Amino acid sequence: MAQWIIGTVVENKRWHDDLFSLRVQTPTPFSFTAGQFVRLGLPGTEKRIQRAYSLVNSPNDNLLDFLITSVPDGELSPRLDLLKVGDTLEVSAPPTGFFILSEIPDGKTLWLISTGTGIGPYLSMLHTEEPWQRFEHVVLVHGVRYGRDLCYQEQIQQWQQQYPNRFHYQPVVTRETVPNGLQQRIPVLIANGLLEKAVGVDLDSQAQVMICGNPAMIVESKAALLEKGLDKNLRRKPGNVTVEQYWK
C-alpha cells in the first residue's frame, strides 16, 4: 500500500498561464525508475484530493520535478498552481508504473512520442544513460497546440549539442507555425510519412515506439503504426509500440 510523505515546494516555474513545473524537496532521497509516476495530494474538505503525475527529473536529482497543466475546473491542479516556495504537499511513495525502458525490447531507434505534459517521463529517461547505450538514434516528438507549450527547451538543446547525430527533436504545433515545427496531428504525420521525413529516421521493424499523452492521439497513433506493421509491445508477446495507460 502506498504511503504519503510531505514534500516542500522549492520552485513553481511558470511556462505560461496554464502550464507550470513544481520542484519539490522530500525529507529523504526519493528512489524511482525513469518513466514512473507518483500521486500528489492536498487536503480536501472530506478526504485527500490526489492525482497522478510523472516524475520529470533525473533519478539522480534530489529535487522532484512535475510538469502540470492547470485545468480551470479541476479539483487539484488549480490549487497546485497556487503553491509557493515553502508550501507543502503530499507525495505518494513508492513510485509506480511500467512505462520504463527496461520494459522496451532492443532496437535501432527509440521513438518517444508525446502530447502536452506527456513529454514528462521521456525527459526523465533522457537524463539516464540507458537510451543512449541501447539505441543508435533517439527521437523525441512533442505535440502541442501553441509554441508556448514547448517547454524544457534549454535542456532539449543541451541533448542536441551532446548527441548531434543521434538525438532528433521534432516539435508538432497544430495551431500556429513555429520554426522547424510540423503542423498536422501526430497520427496523420505517422500515416502520411511526413514525421519520418522530417526527422530523417525510419519507423520500421527496428524502431521501438513509446507513446504518452492524449488518449485519442494514443489510439489513433497505434492504429497508424499498426498499418506500418508495428504492433503493441506486450510481455507475453514483444512488439514495437508501448503506451502509457493513464491520462496526465
Residue 71 confidence (pLDDT): 93
Q: How many CB atoms lie within 10 A of CB 236?
A: 4
Residue 2 confidence (pLDDT): 75
pLDDT in tens, 102-154: 999 999 999 999 999 999 999 999 999 999 999 999 999 999 999 999 999 99
- b/e map of 200-221 (b: 16 or more CB within 10 Å)? ebebeeebbbbbbbbeebbebb
pLDDT in tens, 14-37: 999 999 999 999 998 899 999 999
DSSP single-letter state for residue 119: G
**0.75 exceeded by pTM:** yes
What are the phi and psi torsion angles at 55 (to 5°)? -85, 125
pLDDT in tens, 182-223: 999 999 999 999 999 999 999 999 999 999 999 999 999 999
